[in-house]
Amino acid sequence: MVYYYQTPRWINYLMKPQFTAEDLRKLPSAKVKAAFLAMGPAKVDELHHDWSFWGRSSQFPPPDKDWNTWLINAGRGFGKTRCGAEWVREQVKLGHKRIACVASTNSDIERVMVKGESGFLSVCWKHDKDNKGKHMGFPEWSPTKRSLTWANGAKVEFYSAEEPERLRGPQFSAAWCDELAAWNKDIDTWQMLQFCLRLGKHPRVCVTTTPKPTKLMREILKNPKTTVTSGSTFDNAANLADTYLVAVKEQYEGTRIGRQELYAEVLEEAEGALWSTDMLDSAGIKHEDVPQLARIVVALDPAVTANAESDMTGIVVAGIDINGLCYVLGDYTDKLSPQGWAAKAVQLYHHHQADRIVAEVNQGGDMVRTTVHGEDETVAYKAVRASRGKYARAEPISALYERGLVKHVTNPTDGASLNELEIQMRTWEPLGKIGSPDRLDALVWAITDLALNGYAKPKLTLAYSSAKGLSR
């Protein structure tokens, strides 16, 4: 049986550009059904893929033309990925032929940007046309080439922030960067991308991210050629589960993590934090500028359990030169089993040609030594036990930073970014709600062993250096 509907006058209003999906949601369900039946399958399919209809006003770039970077700084579930994919789709319609997309990791390329619920293969349409009416069609995905190609010749190439050097050589007229605040080699990747944006009259970048107070994020926000769209998780409440919204609001409303992850606030140092943004920014040094080091240690703050609720295992590598200046070489903190963190610590011990592994044993006791030596019984090992509170242990290390005696490598060669460590340093409060600051604990043990146990004294350092040599 076929039903024929006489098109009501209000359906003509529905087809007007100013009518939005939000307006549609306000209509009685009977009218919505009648509207779709009146449209027919082809028009419904077209409407389904019409982002200008479904998108909220905050999900479109600002009308102002004087910008190079559109930063969508928004909370979890805002619809950032959909924004990025639809923006790239629009660039293809406008005639751009070479576009770059940069994900946080290699796995995020296909899992999120290409095949995710809001990725390209979900938002593109087989009947797509460019702004000149030329058929674009549905893009062809090539996993081996990591590229999407449209029928009109437009091509999107995908890159990972783990491999910034792959951005040497290609050139583009537009780019989409997803979850920039989580990029491991963020500064190197961003810089390499800027050199690639040299096609067309006005190359632009769309950045979609939940914020973290990284140095790169602060630099982009300060750039006068950046336009910012801010939004919260709750802006997209119509498309999120009610139970999810209630749960996150009850658990995280009013907390620092909630302000960041739900409301997209770029949080700087917490009140009472021992490290400031200026202090850490001034501590930066490039890997190639690090001198020969007299001693290197791998510091370990181990988790003694291995389940979903377990803490992270703090692992930080640091060294000291003959003048008593310390260098934090990398943060390798991860959620690992005892065997996993022992293997990681031993691997780093050999990779960095370290002098010893320093491990906190307050919880693990002799198990820590046994597990480490189970991986390699030849490694030099020192157990340390906390007899004072975290603040008391961290305060003298903060004083070394104030005096300029600790440097942070800004571009570790193996991708061991210090971003997360620096965020924890700026935001940890002794009486705050943040749990165990595992990265910070490992850092404190490393610098304590290097700088506060006598090894930084010139005559001792020189004697040690002379005996062992400085070639690493």
CATH number at residue 294: 3.30.420.240
* Domain assignment present for 4: no
Torsion angle defined by CA atoms of residues 136, 111, 109 and 185, in that order, rounded to the nearest 10 degrees: 150
Beta carbons within 8 Å of 13's beta carbon, 6+ residues apart: 19
* Tens of pLDDT, residues 206-248: 999 998 888 899 899 999 999 999 999 999 998 899 999 999 8
* Domain assignment present for 78: yes
* Domain assignment present for 129: yes
Beta carbons within 8 Å of 322's beta carbon, 6+ residues apart: 294, 458, 461, 462, 465, 470
* Domain assignment present for 3: no
* Domain assignment present for 1: no
Q: Are residues 293 and 430 in the same domain?
A: yes
- Which tokens is 280 given? 């850490």
Domain with 41 in it: 9-48
* Tens of pLDDT, residues 164-213: 999 998 999 999 999 999 898 899 999 999 999 999 999 999 999 998 88
Q: Are residues 231 and 281 in the same domain?
A: no
Q: Are residues 159 and 281 in the same domain?
A: no
Q: Are residues 26 and 140 in the same domain?
A: no
Output the pLDDT for position 167: 95
pTM: 0.72
Output the pLDDT for position 462: 36
* Domain assignment present for 204: yes
Tell me the CA distances in angstroms from 429 to 275, 278, 443, one per residue in order.
Answer: 10, 18, 16
Q: Are residues 91 and 224 in the same domain?
A: yes
Domain tally, the chain: 3
Please list the ranges in the chain whose pLDDT falls under 50: 1-8, 10, 433, 456-472
